[in-house]
Structure 1
């Protein structure tokens, strides 16, 4: 196999745009009106409603040229941009409200201080982000970002959005019912070019007549209480709206395996297994006192039939039919052996002597498959097989060989079923040959799986090696080849003294199986694997050098038989005693759960002990115990999710808040590549990435509610591959909290950005945070390292600056731009190998708003995100980065949310800050970018506390329910100095410590910051909007904001502008922040097309 990294220069996108005749130019930002951060205040909250007020002092405008079209980018400090593709991108504020059971929330506007201005140019549309798949590459690459305005919206004589505020969704998050709302303080009419500014908008959200008015005992959410406190705008009242957990019984009818003596019997092939007393003794069983009659064997909680012969003092044996596992994780299966008590379940026996109709043949199927290539995105079906033989590009052929024996002489047709996947849109033309005979010449369409079923004369098959040839003959087409199933009539002849067959004919049948090497033939009816029957009375007769086994059976429906010589009975791979666990005991409880690979448990104990000393209920769990109780002993990431869901619903309240996974993992569970790293804690692979397809999502391990993918626990991973790496990460965490270095590094924020290109204005995204005191209030200071600007015009200079900032100390290192698994930027100005050269003892939090930097599931190439965290005595304390692709615009919400949580909401722990970031995205985007919730992975301990905060991370309060209205009757613009955790939500969303936001705007305020540049228009602010209810603060003034439209160089490419002139799809620039820079840096997994 070969991993090939292909790098293309970033200029690729600029060339693509030049060829398309389109240029996107962002002019410098200019404030059109005073831009103090917008502020959302909870005015009143009780059991029936919530009243909120959004207030802002002005917006910021920026001229943007797209080709020959000119747009205005509008932003408001403290608000996020809208994300509906093609529609005007306008600021919005989202909020989450706790609602009582049965609520049907509705929203109305109580007061509206509105003003209308006229824009010279329409608002910039939300960009359309595109990716493409290249032949032979299982990972997609960016194909561009297009500013394609929605023609209907931009031509309409009506305001967009239609409502200034609305309810977006309702659902349940842990015990809390919620509603999300959005407030849109700017509305635009494309026909009149009028922009309504709702400077102060007061809204009421009523819960409806069906909402429960009965206060319940507040559910104690433990340490997760702080997340609700910072997220719900009516936190205090909402405590009494919660619904207690309903204990859930785990679906699998699993044996408890919690008392008595249990032994795990591992097997890896289908067949009859024999266990000797010597093997039982080697496993630690006292065979001298063992009564074989009491032996019992279980699978998936159900006892299966076995056979025992004699006792151990007289050569006793145990026999059973075992089946290999067929999961994506393993072929090794586990059977559970115990003894004592009454007699166990035994195989039945029936007489096989006699005569009947003798069949001449049976239908056999040869499965032909080799797993050489992994594809995350094909097909886009959850749970689909993603391992392929390889690719089949256009104008090429591939041969696939397999061996057959014992073909029956027949004129009946055979069949072949083949599975391929098209990885490109458009037509495919696929030709299928068998041993030189053309079976099919098919034209078909699209990125889809094709399952072809072909019929042909069995004479096309030969005894020995057969060859299937596929040819792809459509220009531009590429296929992934999965497998083949060839069904044919086989003679009853044993191969290596074994024959397994089925017969669907009812009646008394006599079977004659030739080809055995001796007369020791055994027969089993394996139709029901849990109730295997032994067929006795079979006879063997000599037929020259071989023997023929003969038996009869009365059949009804399809029966399956296994015949074999006694020497073909197999021995288990291993028999080991199980260390009992009791994870399903409802008396268990924890705030902080560690799930660790067994060999790492001693190394994680110091961290677990430290968390316990802080008052958390801590439970360290061996991952194998999770598999034993939730997947019958087999490694399976679903078992981890099932376990965590079980702890949430069944363990003692409060439910767990923190989860730490201790161990690395990768997608090559079966080591198909031959050199993959072990799986210590396997990734949970789900189809959550809209472009990549399947990727690792630790988030889904803790997202239990059916109506959303919000995390119910704060989860992080310590991606260790050996005990020393666990020791290193634990030491860093303990030093970070217990002995942080002194100095001003705690207020330094390193803002790193890739250079702006056709893929996006990465410095612009970074500046949305760096320039805004809402996100970076004093004394925090940003240190900007923007590639292509100032002194950072080469990769070497950029690398030196990044390493220097990390070494001198930063609280947060925030990167926005192109990225791949092992580096930042197409120029690779910071790479995984640079981590080993760091010399810092102040460990920053790394936020990587890019693609693939958190792609930890690669089998051999560790990601930058994980390497930076597990580096000993250097690097990062935590990394929050993507395990897939994503849109820059969506990742921006996560970034803003993290900073808002830490800088404004007073969140002091890394895990809750990431949860807040995800909640910010969830509440702000109206359903967009939900994939970002799933693909972002936290490497580190979620309970890690930021330096300078001393409160223990436990938050297990006795929540007191109250329905008392909390009201600050009127909202002000004076920020509160602290965010105190009380049960009275006094402006819970009020900024904390923003010294500049002290002004109280009045209705007569005039625009400030009039630009000195040439203004292209002066809006007339005469129209007002009055409230629909209690019309307070109706403005009487004529505000005269002067918009700015700085002149820019007109692109030389000739393109006829239209009223909505937008970049076409040909101009595409990727909207994800940094998948592999443009067309660069894919993982190519290509392996030789050979049959092992």
Structure 2
């Protein structure tokens, strides 16, 4: 006998001489070789011989989810941990029909499987139009000794998330005695449009009512109202319809059947407008009274924030700049912003002791000799997700004085008035966020409008001016687009666009690629006009293409332009000229700058002459292909309200905290109250200003990644990093306030998923490894103002003081069975099975109860009180259940009476979103309700797949009911560790979209 530690035991059979190796439990490698000897009958001993065992490699089956129409790569070796290691280069597909080398398999009408020879990963690339589950395949691999593994199976399947939720479907009679069908949606995420079908009672088949697709909202995610005239339907007769959603990735849901009878008169809806086929109208869902009130609360909160900021005094000022141009700051303005004495400001200006910086770079500055003002060249932010550049003015620090061009003035007196330069005029508006419609990065997620060609061309037209045309040289039109989605059953390119300029066809282009797309066409300069240049963009359909969706971002005109000032200034490029004269100034007091390097502008020495018309012409010596800026508006400024920047200690390595709150200034006092609560529970607590975070880690910019970079520093450098991080303040993906609802208090980041980009706080807290697993338990309290925050704190304190013997009840709600979306009942069984014996489980099965009865029982449970309300099924941004029929944000807002607060968990789509600034998700409504509702809401900010949500669920409840009193954030964090362990890094986006609304340190009851 030989026992080898950590490997196993070798034994010799005394009868046969056979040697057996018995491995220890858990040992899967090759045992250390042993030697043996034997003797003959005369007792002569043999030479030593070696026994070596090589363990065959073991391949494990792989089951994964995928998004139809999108290639999916499976790291098949990641779970092949038993036996000898499989060499990646030896992986072969063994399914019949594979290529001779086993590296490729083409499955007719499905797609192609390929093996990466370097990594061993296997990729399935679906054919165009294939949206089903591919036939499973098998593979083998070999170890370094050439031993072949067993065959293992790779299975891919998809679960359809919910895109549009139809809340109602009705029929009315219009003034022409026609049948008008009306349906409403509560949620549209990735919805492109709809098809209507009517049941043929004789054949039993559904037939198309609409020849072409009816466009969806294609804007916000919360849906709208649609009407379509069914000319073939007879008023008063009963018909059965269904609505087929067309969504990105060729997916969508089928809603219905709806049996309706057009008897009632069509209600008047002034918001309806025509868009698409004849007889089709639509209207965006209006904001509720509560939502309108909250917009007002946001405005009041911004005023409160501004008032508190103005109270600060100090020697460092923040100067926001959102437009490129001259920044002019007077001594009086600096005094008003800093709170310092005017004498001190003037003295520092005279001594040029005012340092201007941008993102750490010194910015050249001009100073008035008498100490009355300073000037510098400001730039708009280059990034699309930042609304303002933040310049810093440090009073008392030696400034960087702007250099003056050493070239001498040209005193010839000759005015060059016929010169021209190549200019580009850009027209752009931002009305439509389309991050829900694309799953690949693009330059900007905001568009001007959409082009949806379905059955016929789709045209948009815009006008641009081309001021001060020279009338010579060449010209061009550039159209910037983003290709989103198409349905193509042919071989031609699905995206095709033709452009017209002032009625003339100037050509077009076509492509198969999604994402950013620029079409640029050169045109005769004679086609351009000084103003009113009409650019018509036509989206067309090639043969076999049923629809294409394209977003328009901007239009540009390129032409040669006269050197003529517009409203007292001009920015231009010199081309090949070494001297340029700019006409059209009303004053001889001008400032000329060389801005070829905009971070280091140089002051020019211009020659100024008055023309016969009485205006002034400015001549400057130039260098070829350089950029210049001339302005007479030296008293105007492109900067906005200055505020004081107070220093912080966030980079001190001596900082310590168990519990960290990040809040805007006007919520700091309330945040301190919550911190004191946690401090009394033994958690070392700290409150920091989001402005300090941005000042220290993004140069004052309201960059979405500032919090992430701060937390990365905290995790690495602080003496004690926190367990819990609370983001106090509403988040939004409208970083530049395009929609007009206000700036986000704490910006959220958008993460990529197969179904689009969604907001995520989890990504902010994932500071090591970028694996989806956060290093902190993070939660967001999505409040606007102090009153909302104080109400939430009161609710948390009441909740924690009222629980003594643990969560006694959980209501588990599962939506009606939908095979395409997942087995909701099985998921509910999983939750029930994870409950401790002392927790009473109430099952609310919509299949059994129906929507109405289930909704009533949910309301009763909330009014009487349950520890946890857990939901599985369809949901939208604002409600649970198909058509939001089980529970909605508005029902939570208006519920009366209401019981004690609870923990709410929603393993469904979008219910925990906090990114849309115009309205609250159901999760936000539950958390923000002053009484009752939820102390915490754990759910998805985007589209969730039910099988993946089950994994999150299991990890969450296994942690939540541990004997030691947990906090809800601990369970959230554990749910993600469990998911990562099960999925081995696959579908990691699920970790990012599942987020906690509420305080992660909320104490949960113990269960001994």
Q: Which residue does the alignment assign to 1:1063?
A: none
Shift of 1:624: 1.0
Contact 2:324 2:638 in 1 (8 A): no
- Whether 1:826 aligns to 2:882 is yes
2:644 and 2:832 map into 1 onto residues whose CA distance is 61
- Whether 1:684 aligns to 2:749 is yes
Shift of 1:381: 3.0
* Aligned partner (choices 494, 506, 523) of residue 592 of structure 2: 523
Shift of 1:259: 13
Q: How does 1:624-703 map to 2 (within 5 A)?
A: 624-652=691-719, 654-674=720-740, 676-687=741-752, 689-691=753-755, 693-703=756-766
Shift of 1:489: 0.7
Go from structure 1 to structure 2 and tell me whether the alpha carbon gap of 1:780 and 1:832 turns closer, same or farther (over 3 Å shift).
same
Contact 1:823 1:830 in 2 (8 A): yes
Go from structure 1 to structure 2 and tell me whether the alpha carbon gap of 1:365 and 1:708 turns closer, same or farther (over 3 Å shift).
same
Q: Does the residue aligned with 1:424 lie in a helix, a strand or coil?
A: strand
1:563 and 1:763 map into 2 onto residues whose CA distance is 67
2:945 and 2:750 map into 1 onto residues whose CA distance is 20
Q: Which residue does the alignment assign to 1:514?
A: 583
Q: Which residue does the alignment assign to 1:286?
A: 341
Q: Which residue does the alignment assign to 1:562?
A: 629
Contact 1:750 1:813 in 2 (8 A): yes
Shift of 1:548: 1.5
- Whether 1:914 aligns to 2:972 is yes
- Whether 1:353 aligns to 2:409 is yes
* Greater Cα shift, 374-383 or 576-585: 374-383
Shift of 1:699: 0.6
* Aligned partner (choices 324, 334, 337) of residue 380 of structure 2: 324
Q: Does the residue aligned with 2:578 lie in a helix, a strand or coil?
A: strand
* Aligned partner (choices 772, 780, 784) of residue 721 of structure 1: 784
Contact 1:401 1:465 in 2 (8 A): yes
1:510 and 1:483 map into 2 onto residues whose CA distance is 33
Shift of 1:596: 0.7
Go from structure 1 to structure 2 and tell me whether the alpha carbon gap of 1:658 and 1:782 turns closer, same or farther (over 3 Å shift).
same
2:361 and 2:140 map into 1 onto residues whose CA distance is 66
Q: Does the residue aligned with 1:932 lie in a helix, a strand or coil?
A: helix
Shift of 1:495: 0.8
**TM-score normalized by the length of structure 1:** 0.62
* Aligned partner (choices 135, 151, 156) of residue 150 of structure 1: 135
Contact 2:880 2:887 in 1 (8 A): yes
Q: Which residue does the alignment assign to 2:466?
A: 404
Contact 2:591 2:634 in 1 (8 A): no
2:524 and 2:863 map into 1 onto residues whose CA distance is 72
After superposition, the CA RMSD in angstroms is 3.6
1:442 and 1:576 map into 2 onto residues whose CA distance is 49
- Whether 1:815 aligns to 2:871 is yes
Q: Which residue does the alignment assign to 1:310?
A: 369
- Whether 1:734 aligns to 2:797 is yes
| Higher normalized contact order (CA 8 Å, seq sep 6+, divided by chain length) | 1
- Whether 1:265 aligns to 2:319 is yes
Q: Which residue does the alignment assign to 1:596?
A: 663
Contact 2:815 2:846 in 1 (8 A): yes
* Aligned partner (choices 863, 879, 889) of residue 921 of structure 2: 863
Q: Does the residue aligned with 1:574 lie in a helix, a strand or coil?
A: coil
* Aligned partner (choices 752, 769, 773) of residue 710 of structure 1: 773
Q: Which residue does the alignment assign to 1:533?
A: 602
Contact 2:812 2:832 in 1 (8 A): no
Shift of 1:352: 4.9
- Whether 1:488 aligns to 2:559 is yes
1:768 and 1:442 map into 2 onto residues whose CA distance is 54
Q: Does the residue aligned with 2:343 lie in a helix, a strand or coil?
A: coil
Go from structure 1 to structure 2 and tell me whether the alpha carbon gap of 1:704 and 1:641 turns closer, same or farther (over 3 Å shift).
same
2:130 and 2:951 map into 1 onto residues whose CA distance is 18
Q: How does 1:1004-1023 map to 2 (within 5 A)?
A: none
Contact 2:329 2:375 in 1 (8 A): yes
Q: Deviations 1:230-278 (Å, cap 9, x if unpaired)? A: xxxxxxxxxxxxxxxxxxxxxxxxxxxx998211223332222222222
* Greater Cα shift, 440-449 or 460-469: 440-449
1:892 and 1:678 map into 2 onto residues whose CA distance is 35
Q: Does the residue aligned with 1:729 lie in a helix, a strand or coil?
A: helix
Shift of 1:838: 5.3
Contact 1:600 1:722 in 2 (8 A): yes
2:390 and 2:316 map into 1 onto residues whose CA distance is 12
1:371 and 1:642 map into 2 onto residues whose CA distance is 28
- What 5-or-longer segments of structure 2 have no aligned partner? 8-22, 29-60, 68-77, 85-109, 111-128, 142-147, 155-311, 489-493
Q: Which residue does the alignment assign to 1:766?
A: 827
Go from structure 1 to structure 2 and tell me whether the alpha carbon gap of 1:585 and 1:695 turns closer, same or farther (over 3 Å shift).
same
Contact 1:717 1:940 in 2 (8 A): yes
Q: Which residue does the alignment assign to 1:423?
A: 485
Q: How does 1:23-172 map to 2 (within 5 A)?
A: 83=64, 107-108=82-83, 148=133, 150-153=135-138, 161=152
**TM-score normalized by the length of structure 2:** 0.67
Q: Which residue does the alignment assign to 2:36?
A: none
Shift of 1:297: 1.1
Contact 1:265 1:575 in 2 (8 A): yes
Q: Which residue does the alignment assign to 2:958?
A: 900
1:571 and 1:681 map into 2 onto residues whose CA distance is 25
1:467 and 1:85 map into 2 onto residues whose CA distance is 44
Q: Deviations 1:920-958 (Å, cap 9, x if unpaired)? A: 111112333311100011011111111247xxxxxxxxx
Q: Deviations 1:276-320 (Å, cap 9, x if unpaired)? A: 2221222222221323221211111122111112234xxx22111
Contact 2:938 2:994 in 1 (8 A): yes
- What 5-or-longer segments of structure 1 have no aligned partner? 1-42, 55-79, 87-96, 98-103, 110-128, 130-143, 164-257, 950-977, 979-1092
Contact 2:656 2:718 in 1 (8 A): yes
Q: Deviations 1:577-609 (Å, cap 9, x if unpaired)? A: 222212112222222110112111111222101
1:581 and 1:486 map into 2 onto residues whose CA distance is 47
Q: Deviations 1:35-68 (Å, cap 9, x if unpaired)? A: xxxxxxxx999xxx996599xxxxxxxxxxxxxx
Shift of 1:335: 1.5
Q: Does the residue aligned with 1:820 lie in a helix, a strand or coil?
A: coil
Q: Does the residue aligned with 1:327 lie in a helix, a strand or coil?
A: coil
Q: Which residue does the alignment assign to 1:930?
A: 988
Contact 1:812 1:846 in 2 (8 A): yes
- Whether 1:849 aligns to 2:849 is no
